[in-house]
Amino acid sequence: MSRQTQRRVLLLAHPSRPDMAEFIRDVAERLAAAGVSPRLPASDAAELQQQRQGQGEAQRQRQGHGLGPVHIVDDAGAGDGCELVLVLGGDGTILRGAEAARGTDTPLLGINLGKVGFLAEAERADLPRTIEAIVARDYQVEERMTLDVTVSHGGRVDARTWALNEVSIEKAARERMLEVAVEVDGRPLSTWACDGVIVATPTGSTAYAFSAGGPVVWPDVEAILLVPNSAHALFARPVVVGPGSHLAVEVIRDAEGAGVVWCDGRRQFHLTPGARIDVCRSPRPMRLARLTDSPFTDRLVTKFDLQVAGWRGNDSTARSPSGQAGAAKGGWGNGPTPAPHP
């Protein structure tokens, strides 16, 4: 197969997980055997190499870099020419994979090695079938809404970024509340003294926004969530607005407390009094590869281990997913995540 036509898949991993090098080697060997070239960013390879420093020199020389037929590539443009970003890890690693796929048409597929793994499409035990599906291109691509974020102060733009799950505006110090004014579509909505405010996508509705008391929103619903976090106000309830709405949160200028904004728990910007965060729907969705067409309800039941034993439907689907198999299992194990912010 010529280099021009060789299929490529970018691997992204959580290097500090036990046995990660062995798992990457297993994935790489399966892909290479099917004629697909596995690629790994140099930063991941370097971290994995550090994990192997405890091995004897002779063993390291026998194993080489220990990752099998993996091509180590520069981090910049690591996904260039790749048909898929395959993430090996939990939801945090998948959100990192979303950064690598951002601005491209390359879909993202996660194999869960963490706990809940709401964004992941498969579990570790599903690896053989997952690789078969990748090789056969037997998956569907689902587009998920993302958010564009602008951080400014006094009309000066300090940062432009984005989020797949949520934009979390939080207080910077434990002992002080964050005082904010919130507006929707250019009109004032409310002011809150709070621990923070979360603006989330439907994908992020099962993540940090869920932990703050926000509603679960099905991923095919086009909407933006506004969720106050521990607000001291009579009107301190989650709000769901249309996908075309423009939301803004401003740190009240004469307030004493400063803040910080986190996007997906990965990109951080400090906020001083008077800072403004504008959030709207991005024209660039994230593309997720799906191995099954199982309903989101089944994914929700599986990931949150919801009890459905009393349901009077078909017996094969009326069992608790933690107990026995059934349609409530949701296929291979699937679908975004609470990830506590630092």
Nearest of 89, 207, 84 to residue 147 by alpha carbon: 207
- Would you state the pLDDT for residue 117? 87
- Would you state the pLDDT for residue 211? 95
Collapsing DSSP to helix, strand or coil, 28 comes out as helix
Catalytic residue among 91, 126, 264, 298: 91
- Would you state the pLDDT for residue 4? 54
Contacts of 193 (CB under 8 A, 6+ apart): 177, 178, 179, 231, 232, 233
- Would you state the pLDDT for residue 58? 42
The full set of domains in the chain, from first to last, is 8-138 (3.40.50.10330), 146-284 (2.60.200.30)
126 catalytically annotated: no
Residue 298 φ then ψ, to 5°: -65, -40
Flag residues of the chain having pLDDT under 50.
1-2, 58-64, 318-331, 333-342
- Would you state the pLDDT for residue 324? 40
CA distance 311 to 179: 45
